[in-house]
Structure 1
Amino acid sequence: MIKTLPAIVAALAGVVLIGLALWRWHDHGWGSLIWLIALIAMFVVRTPHSLRNRANVVTQARKDATEITLLAGMFLTTMVLPLLYLATDMFDFADYAAPDWTVWIGTLAQIPFLWLFWRSHADLGRNWSPGLEVREAHELVTDGVYDRIRHPMYAAIWISALAQPLLIHNWIGGFLVVPAFAAMWFIRVPHEEAMMRARFGEAWNAYCARSGRLWPKRYYDGAPS
């Protein structure tokens, strides 16, 4: 009970902030409403996988200070700071002006973001984890959306991160997610790929040879380029 209490408190606080942000969306424009809808959809996609995969037996995990800092930075910039901004008058001093077309681009970007986010969770199944972990009976997934892209979930989050400042016109509540996720991408992904290489060996190397990290490799005469 002691371990779950902070999670319950955090969840209740999140619900309250989301409710307040929805109530006040008109104060920040309709882009904020699109962002909130996408945030709720993201929770709907991820929560069943999080609950199911708690039963996974983890055989290797990286939980050092760097990993904790990166995850904390993402949690702050993708959820806490935007919700505090939208639900209160906090950070209004950091607003910036942007043309209406930026909101339309941010809105359209939610389509590939949510599709990739859903599909990558569905294709990974029990192999997904929010942290850098290898589970017992871990499998190398190379089909579905992972056929030609090694990191479709990161691709989805890149889309979301770049769209957030287009929907939320605030340097703290909207823009800070971009450098936060850039740090995660450039620091975390090499460690993640090293774990996969150690686990799967030549199968991973062969997969890397035919797949791109965020975008499919092009093929000419059967050879990747």
Structure 2
Amino acid sequence: MSLLVAAKIVWAAGVIGWYLIRLPFERKVKRERVVDARDRLRELILLSCSTLGLGITPLLWATSRVFNFANYPYSPVQFALGTLTFIFSLWLFRRTHKDLGKNWSVTLEIKDSHRLITGGVYRYVRHPMYSAFFLWALAQLILIPNWIAGPAGIVGFGILYLFRIGREEKMMLDTFGDEYRAYSARTARLIPGVY
């Protein structure tokens, strides 16, 4: 098996893993009553940007020749590093869902029984799920030897992050007030002790 085929398999396995991690949590939160949902159309557009970068573009690379002109030489080191990064991103993704429980949602929402989670991986950063998605995007950049499909995840998810993070933090402040303000003062957004 060539390294390129192996990279496609790892990418596909990572996406399937992501889906399998999220599915049970998605089912659980559907039963929760939403009391605050913000910017539905904006959220749909941002989620589409992320899906285009992390899903559709690499899928086209993996299943067609449309981006072949942008392929570049690939090494076993890139494959190994990309694979390990993807595995770590999936671990963090699962852990964030487990720590959030029913407080999780795919869009900007506050549930009826919502509470501020500050334990588990949330003890170190306020948005570890975004950290997991950025790790996925980094894994894609390393794993996919293509100048379009590789960086597409960072671009697509980066757009979602840049246009959502301020609104999400405002929603948390509106909901949890001083409790969230104190939590923000002692935690970083994405990378412990850095940002």
Match of 1:81 in 2: 57
Match of 2:94 in 1: 118
What's the offset of the Cα at 1:56?
1.6
Residue identity matched to 2:135: I
Q: After superposition, where does 1:8-87 map in structure 2 within 5 Å?
A: 26=2, 28-87=4-63
Give deviations 1:67-91, integer Å, cap 9, x for gaps.
Answer: 2221101111211221222122232
Match of 2:76 in 1: 100
* Matched pairs, number: 194
Whether 1:154 and 2:154 are equivalent positions in the alignment is no
Whether 1:90 and 2:66 are equivalent positions in the alignment is yes
Give TM-score scaled by structure 2 length.
0.91
Equivalent pairs: percent with the same residue? Answer: 38
Distance in 2, matches of 1:39 and 1:180, equals 15
Whether 1:211 and 2:175 are equivalent positions in the alignment is no
Distance in 2, matches of 1:27 and 1:95, equals 13
What's the offset of the Cα at 1:164?
0.1
Shifted more, 167-176 versus 132-141: the winner is 167-176
Listed as ranges, the gaps of 5+ residues in structure 2 are none
Distance in 1, matches of 2:3 and 2:126, equals 40
Residue identity matched to 1:205: R
- The answer (yes or no) to whether the contact 1:28–1:86 under 8 Å persists in 2 is no
Distance in 1, matches of 2:168 and 2:63, equals 35
Q: CA RMSD in A?
A: 1.9
Residue identity matched to 2:19: F
Listed as ranges, the gaps of 5+ residues in structure 1 are 1-24, 219-225
Query: Could you say which structure has the larger radius of gyration?
Result: 1
Distance in 2, matches of 1:98 and 1:27, equals 8
* Bigger RCO of structures 1 and 2 (CA < 8 A, at least 6 apart): 2
Q: 2:155 aligns with which of 179, 189, 195?
A: 179
